[in-house]
Amino acid sequence: KKDKKDKKDKKKKKKKDRGDVESADAGDDNDNEAKGEEDEDDDLDENGEDGPNDEEDGNDAETEAFSETVNTCAGFIRAWMTENDDATADTIVEHLTAIQQSEDHVEAKDKLLIFLTGLLSSNCWPADFTPQLVLAWSKQQLLPHAAVLQKLCGSDFMKAYFVGCIEHLCALRQPLLKPHFPIILKAAFEDVEVVSEDDILAWAANDFSEDTTPKGVTEEMHEELKVVASPLLRWLEVDDDDDDDDDDDEEEEDDDGDEA
């Protein structure tokens, strides 16, 4: 009888030990699940949506630093030009280069954005954002400095960056100018002659590029401005086709003259 009682006690102890182990394992699983949920919660904001990550925070900080530097440099060149209103285009470009090189966060190409930001500043927005006033304002601000702009835009790359700078102006600095984006572009090639019609068409045909677009302008903004500029682009394409037809007609006339 004693042996039977000992066996029963051993069985009860095994069952108890097994139950304790299973309970502990279950507790560990619950703890791991809870930790996993906490980790997921860390990636969500207070609305239960994906929160910002470190990479996005870094990009935002870099864009903000870039914007602040551009504004600071634009203030410097604007003040200097006010004091030196008889400076030549070469002298202005030299001083602009010195300002750009003295600052972090901006590259050589950003001299153009700095200069345009200095010209098209919040101190001189048009009195009202109507097409007529925006066109007059664009000419008034850009034409006197056409020589400087032409020097800064001496390559195809910089001409593309000029359009990117106008995107930056209309999408970020003064969104009220967004509907008038094509008006400013038209003034740039018809009056200031800093870019050509072909440069505008090339901008429209090419995909979004961070190289030819200032920091802060996104691909979504770029595509939106393409839509805004579509009437101008259609007009330029028709005009380009007409020029091709005229060239063909002249070639045919030359051929007929040679045969005669």
DSSP letter for each residue of 226-238: HHHTHHHHHHHHH
pLDDT at position 199: 96
Side chain identity, residue 138: S
Q: CB of 162 within 8 A of CB of 194?
A: yes
Q: Report the pLDDT value the prediction gives residue 2, as an integer from 0 to 100.
A: 46
Give me the pLDDT at residue 208, please. 96
- Average pLDDT of 6-31? 50
The confidence band for 221, taking pLDDT boundaries of 50, 70 and 90, is: very high
Q: What is the pLDDT of residues 172-190, one digit of tens each?
A: 999 999 999 999 999 999 9
Region 42-54 average pLDDT = 53
- As a whole number of angstroms, the distance between CA 3 and CA 60 comes to 78
Q: Would the pLDDT of 22 be above 70?
A: no
pLDDT, average across residues 96-108: 95
Per residue in 232-254, pLDDT tens? 999 999 977 766 555 555 666 66
CA distances from 172 to 63, 66, 224 (A): 12, 13, 13
Q: What integer is the mean pLDDT of 122-147?
A: 90
pLDDT at 126: 87
Report DSSP letters for 108-171, one per residue.
TTHHHHHHHHHHS-GGG--SS--HHHHHHHHHHHHGGGHHHHHHHT-SHHHHHHHHHHHHHIII
- What is d(CA 61, CA 139) in angstroms, rounded to the nearest whole number? 34
Q: Which has the minimum average pLDDT: 12-21, 136-145, 227-236?
A: 12-21
**Rounded to whole angstroms, what are the CA distances from 40 to 33, 37, 44, 244?**
11, 5, 7, 61
Average pLDDT over the chain reads 82
Measure CA 135 to chain center: 24
Average pLDDT over residues 69-83: 95
* Residue, of 40 and 131, whose pLDDT is higher: 131
Lowest mean pLDDT among 52-56, 58-62, 135-139, 228-232: 52-56
The tokens describing 129, both together, are 């954002």
| 59 or 245, greater pLDDT | 59
pLDDT on residue 213:
96
- pTM strictly above 0.75: no
